[in-house]
């Protein structure tokens, strides 16, 4: 019904959403939740870019005299057992955690799209082989697989990214395969062939972009998972090493102090982490609407 009325009132289309920027503004205005999600994303991005320059204390500087202070006006989130400022550490860690999740998701997005497109478009034995490989990856408990990858390759940030990317590839490949498969014989794909496009071009320029809206939802959910995954790896001691500030390590270290009453060590990084994941989960619908031209009415 919404589609019908949309086509009945095409005059509004000429006004709004003609430019990409105008369309983004329209999507944001249309849905307050999306607006909130993008505002929070902007906040986290701000922390990632400018955080290290803005924080009141050096995140690595210890100060024995002020160890384990509860939150106060000098130290908003309190201090840890070495006297480091928890607030500064939480803010500075944003850059590392976002880098890991964005890089991992970008990697799995690209690899998953390529594999899924090929499997969905050409089908046949290629499809069967790729699908079985992806099934194999999915058959592992994914977090355990990521642990194995990091343990085998070594404890570095790059390896956390690779591990997180590998466990996310099947989701993208599956999604793209399904979206490409239903469109490979669509009229517009055939028309593109008549216009002189090779199979590869039809796939890349005409079919694949139509898979973007559902992909965007997947991307935003995955960004959240990827942060959790990276934090989880650090939590169990794989991945980022202390004293580098990272949310997972901070929660892990802080957990030791909860029993003795110093709750702020684990709670604030945990809350920050939760907020970041929440932001990405909210982002999905908005991102999908932005890449979907059908919303431009």
Partner 1 sequence: MLSVKDLSVAFKTRKGEVNAVRGVSFDVGKGETLGIVGESGSGKSVTSYALMRILDAGGEIRTGDVVYGGIDLRAASETNMRDIRGREISMIFQNPRAALNPIRRVGHQVEDVLIRHAQATLQTAKAKAIAALEAVKINDAAARYEAYPFELSGGMCQRIVIAIALACKPQLLIADEPTTGLDITTQKAVMDLVGDLTKERGMGMILITHDLGLASQYCDRIVVMKDGLIVEVGEPKTLFTDPQHAYTRKLVDATPRLGASIRNLLPPEARRPEPRHKVHNRPLLEVRDLVKTYPGKTGPIQAVKGISFDIKAGQSLGLVGESGSGKSTTSEMIVRLQDPTSGNILFDGQDIAATPSARFMRHAVRRDIQMVFQDATDSLNPRSTAASAIAEPLARIDRMRGAKLTARVSELADLVGLPQPLLSRFPHQLSGGQKARVGIARAIALEPRLLILDEPTAALDVSIQALVLNLLVDLRAKMGMSYLFVSHDLNVVRLLCDEVLVMKQGEIVDRGPTATVMDTPSHPYTRALIEAAPQPPRSIAA
Site residues (vs partner 1, CB under 8 A): 1-10, 13-14, 18, 186-188, 190-199, 206, 209-210, 293-294, 296-297
Asked whether the beta carbons of 149 and 159 are under 8 A apart, the reply is yes
Least distance between partner 1 and beta carbon 185 (Å): 9
Least distance between partner 1 and beta carbon 295 (Å): 10
Q: How far apart are CA 110 and CA 102, in angstroms?
A: 12
Nearer to partner 1 (CB atom), residue 1 or residue 53: 1
For residue 193, which phi and psi values (nearest 5 degrees)? -65, -40
DSSP codes joined into one string, 161-230 = HHHHHHHHHHHHHHHHHHHHHHHTTSHHHHHHHHTT--HHHIIIIIIGGGGHHHHHHHHHHHHHHHHHHH
Q: How far apart are CA 291 and CA 55, in angstroms?
A: 35
Least distance between partner 1 and beta carbon 123 (Å): 14
Least distance between partner 1 and beta carbon 194 (Å): 6
Least distance between partner 1 and beta carbon 187 (Å): 3
Residue 147 CB-half CA count within 13 A: 11
Nearer to partner 1 (CB atom), residue 54 or residue 186: 186
Least distance between partner 1 and beta carbon 35 (Å): 17
Nearer to partner 1 (CB atom), residue 93 or residue 192: 192
Q: How many residues does the chain have?
A: 297
Nearer to partner 1 (CB atom), residue 29 or residue 193: 193
Nearer to partner 1 (CB atom), residue 10 or residue 261: 10
Q: How far apart are CA 242 and CA 236, in angstroms?
A: 12
- Sorted by sequence, the CB contacts under 8 Å of residue 39 that are 6+ apart come out as none
Least distance between partner 1 and beta carbon 126 (Å): 15
Nearer to partner 1 (CB atom), residue 3 or residue 261: 3
Q: How far apart are CA 174 and CA 281, in angstroms?
A: 20
Looking at the DSSP bridge assignments, the partners of residue 79 are 85
Q: How far apart are CA 155 and CA 145, in angstroms?
A: 15
Nearer to partner 1 (CB atom), residue 191 or residue 236: 191
């Amino acid at each position: 019904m919404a589609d019908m009325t949309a086509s009945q009132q095409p005059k509004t289309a000429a006004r709004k959403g003609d430019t990409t920027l105008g369309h983004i503004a329209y999507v944001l205005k249309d849905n307050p939740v999306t607006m909130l999600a993008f505002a929070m994303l902007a906040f986290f991005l701000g922390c990632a870019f400018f955080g290290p320059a803005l924080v009141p204390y050096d995140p690595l500087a210890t100060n024995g005299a002020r160890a384990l202070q509860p939150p106060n006006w000098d130290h908003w989130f309190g201090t840890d057992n070495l006297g480091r400022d928890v607030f500064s550490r939480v803010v500075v860690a944003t850059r590392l955690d976002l880098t890991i999740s964005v890089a991992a998701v970008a990697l799995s997005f690209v690899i998953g799209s390529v594999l899924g497109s090929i499997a969905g478009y050409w089908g046949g034995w290629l499809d069967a082989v790729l699908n079985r490989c992806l099934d194999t990856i999915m058959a592992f408990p994914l977090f355990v697989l990521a642990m194995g990858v990091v343990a085998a390759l070594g404890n570095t940030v790059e390896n956390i990214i690779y591990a997180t990317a590998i466990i996310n590839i099947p989701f993208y490949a599956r999604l793209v395969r399904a979206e490409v498969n239903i469109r490979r014989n669509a009229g517009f794909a055939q028309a593109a062939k008549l216009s002189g496009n090779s199979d590869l071009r039809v796939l890349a320029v005409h079919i694949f972009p139509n898979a973007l809206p559902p992909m965007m939802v997947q991307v935003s959910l995955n960004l959240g998972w990827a942060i959790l995954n990276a934090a989880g790896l650090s939590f169990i001691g794989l991945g980022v090493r202390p004293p580098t500030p990272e949310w997972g390590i901070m929660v892990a270290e802080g957990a030791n102090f909860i029993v003795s009453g110093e709750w702020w060590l684990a709670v604030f990084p945990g809350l920050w982490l939760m907020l970041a994941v929440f932001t990405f989960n909210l982002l999905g619908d908005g991102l999908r609407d932005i890449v979907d031209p059908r919303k431009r009415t």
